[in-house]
Amino acid sequence: MKKAMLSFLCVCVLFAAAGLGEAADFPGKKPITIVVPYSAGGASDTTARIFAAEMEKVLGTSFIVTNITGASGAIGLEHARSRKPDGYTLAYMPVESTMLRALGFTDLSCADFKFICRVMTIPATVTVRADSEWKTFEDLLAYAKAQPEKIQTGNSGTGSIWHVAAASLEEASGAKFTHVPFEGAAPAVAALVGKNIQMVTVSPSEVKSNVDSGELKILAVLGEARSSVFPDVKTARELGVDLALQAWGGFAVPKGTPEDVVKILEDAAKTAANSEALKKLLKERGFDHAYLSGDEMDKRAAAELEHFGNLIPKLGIAN
In the predicted model, what is the mean pLDDT of residues 166-188? 92
Nearest CA to 48 out of 75, 73, 62, 67 is that of 67
Q: Give the confidence band of 317 by pLDDT, cuts at 50, 70, 90.
A: confident
- How far apart are the C-alpha atoms of 234 and 111, rounded to whole Å? 33
User: For residue 21, is it within any domain?
Assistant: no
Report which of residues 195 and 43 the model is more confident about: 195
Q: Which of these three, 153, 188, 221, is where a domain ends?
A: 221
Q: Coil, strand, or helix at residue 274? A: coil
Could you give the C-alpha distances from 304 to 135, 274, 313, in angstroms and in order? 32, 24, 14
User: For residue 211, is it within any domain?
Assistant: yes
- 59 & 207 share domain: no
- 37 & 104 share domain: yes
Domain that residue 141 falls in: 125-221
- How far apart are the C-alpha atoms of 129 and 136, rounded to whole Å? 12
- The rounded radius of gyration (Å) of the Cα atoms in the chain is 22
Nearest CA to 73 out of 30, 44, 41 is that of 44
Total Cβ atoms within 10 A of residue 298: 18
Is residue 239's pLDDT more than 50? yes
Q: Coil, strand, or helix at residue 130? A: coil
Residue 221 contacts residue 229 (beta carbons within 8 Å): no
Nearest CA to 125 out of 217, 6, 259 is that of 217
Is residue 5's pLDDT more than 50? no
Encode 68-104: b = buried (16+ Cβ within 10 Å), e = exposed. bbebbbbbbbbbbbebebbbbbbbbbbbbbbbbbbbe
Could you give the C-alpha distances from 295 to 15, 67, 78, in angstroms and in order? 27, 26, 22
Torsion angle of C-alpha atoms 168, 172, 174, 175, degrees rounded to 10: -40
Torsion angle of C-alpha atoms 166, 168, 171, 176, degrees rounded to 10: 10
Is residue 139's pLDDT more than 50? yes
Helix and strand numbers, DSSP H then E, in the chain: 11, 11
9-13, 64-68, 69-73, 301-305: which has the minimum mean pLDDT?
Answer: 9-13
User: For residue 7, is it within any domain?
Assistant: no
- How far apart are the C-alpha atoms of 177 and 90, rounded to whole Å? 38
In the predicted model, what is the mean pLDDT of residues 135-163? 94
Q: Which of these three, 221, 238, 265, is where a domain ends?
A: 221
Residue 62 contacts residue 18 (beta carbons within 8 Å): no
- 113 & 258 share domain: yes
Report which of residues 44 and 299 the model is more confident about: 299
- 104 & 151 share domain: no
- 118 & 251 share domain: yes
Q: Give the confidence band of 24 by pLDDT, cuts at 50, 70, 90.
A: low
CATH number at residue 133: 3.40.190.10
Q: What is the pTM of this model?
A: 0.83
Is 40 exposed, middle or buried (CB count within 10 Å of its CB: 0-12, 13-18, 19+)?
middle
Most confident segment among 37-41, 183-187, 225-229, 248-252: 248-252
- 50 & 114 share domain: yes
Ramachandran sector of residue 168 (left: φ over 0; alpha: ψ -120 to 50; beta: rest)? alpha
Question: Considering its fold, how many domains does the chain have in total?
Answer: 2
User: For residue 232, is it within any domain?
Assistant: no
- 130 & 213 share domain: yes
- 89 & 153 share domain: no
- 41 & 86 share domain: yes
CATH number at residue 91: 3.40.190.150
User: For residue 287, is it within any domain?
Assistant: yes
- 150 & 294 share domain: no
Most confident segment among 24-28, 45-49, 192-196: 192-196
- 54 & 112 share domain: yes
In the predicted model, what is the mean pLDDT of residues 26-45? 91
Tell me the sheet residues that pair with 254: 113
pLDDT of residue 6: 43
- 115 & 50 share domain: yes
Task: Tell me whether strands 246-254 and 89-94 are parallel, antiparallel or unpaired.
Answer: antiparallel
User: For residue 12, is it within any domain?
Assistant: no
Tell me the sheet residues that pair with 89: 33
User: For residue 192, is it within any domain?
Assistant: yes
User: For residue 231, is it within any domain?
Assistant: no
